[in-house]
Amino acid sequence: MKLEDVYKKHILPPLAEKKDVAAYRNAWGKWMSQEAKLQEVRAAAPDKGERSAAYERFLVEKRPQMLWDLEKAIFEMGDQKGAALAMLSHLEAHAGHKNEIQWTKDFAAYLEPKPSE
């Protein structure tokens, strides 16, 4: 089973259900650390060429996307202010990322007022 599956199917859902933002952030942080360590180990393998490229892709592409997905989840759990501020910082820190346009659209959609029921 992939590490991502373990977190997305077993670890994160109960925390999201409880809306425990601090525990959710902590678990997500552990997931990112474990993913990074896994990539480092792979990068140190004998066939370093491709594995090093995979590690760089993780740092440049996947890790920023994981951080964005974290903030989206936190926003949806109810910490809109904290997540929105983190999203804004994320957009500034990762200007030029291949997903920047989609992230900006996501951010704008979160800021749209919802119709009253």
Task: Count Cβ atoms within 10 A of the Cβ of residue 70 and give its class: 0-12 exposed, 13-18 middle, 19 or more buried.
Answer: buried
Report how far apart the first and last C-alpha atoms of the chain are (Å, whole number).
42
Mean pLDDT of 51-78: 91
Mean pLDDT of 97-107: 97
| Alpha-carbon distance values, 11 to 8, 14, 22, 42, 107 (Å) | 6, 7, 14, 24, 26
Q: 7, 20 in Cβ contact below 8 A? A: no
pTM of the model: 0.87
Structure tokens at 1: 């089973």
How confident is the prediction for the chain on average, in pLDDT? 91
